[in-house]
Amino acid sequence: MSQAATINVGSKVRITRVRDRIPAEMIEALKADPTGTVTGFRTVDGQGIGVVVQLSNGSQVWFFDDEISAA
């Protein structure tokens, strides 16, 4: 079962890793505060579920469910 099945909109999560390359400003934001609030979900690669997270700097980014954990 996917971890996203146990996370709801409004849940606090911690970003534990990032699979893809991301912009330098996103790296700095995650270093400063790797936590955020789930604002939604999206389908990725036809099978998985991506989790949309609002970070403390106000930006919204989606992550694979294996890149986050409950905070």
Summarize pLDDT for 49-60 with one digit per residue, the tens.
Answer: 899 999 999 999
**Measured between alpha carbons, how far apart are the two ends of the chain, in Å?**
19
Task: Tell me the pTM.
Answer: 0.85
Q: Residue 17 corresponds to which amino acid?
A: R
Hey, what domains does the chain have and what are their CATH numbers? 3-70 (2.30.30)
In Å, how far are 32, 46, 48, 64 from 15, measured between CA atoms?
12, 22, 17, 10
Q: How confident is the model at residue 2 (pLDDT cuts 50, 70, 90)?
A: low
Helix (H, G, I), strand (E, B) or coil at 65: helix
Report the alpha-carbon angle 61-64-68, nearest 5: 85
pLDDT over threshold 80, residue 18: yes
Q: What confidence score (pLDDT) does residue 36 get? A: 97
What's the mean pLDDT when you consider all of the chain?
Answer: 89
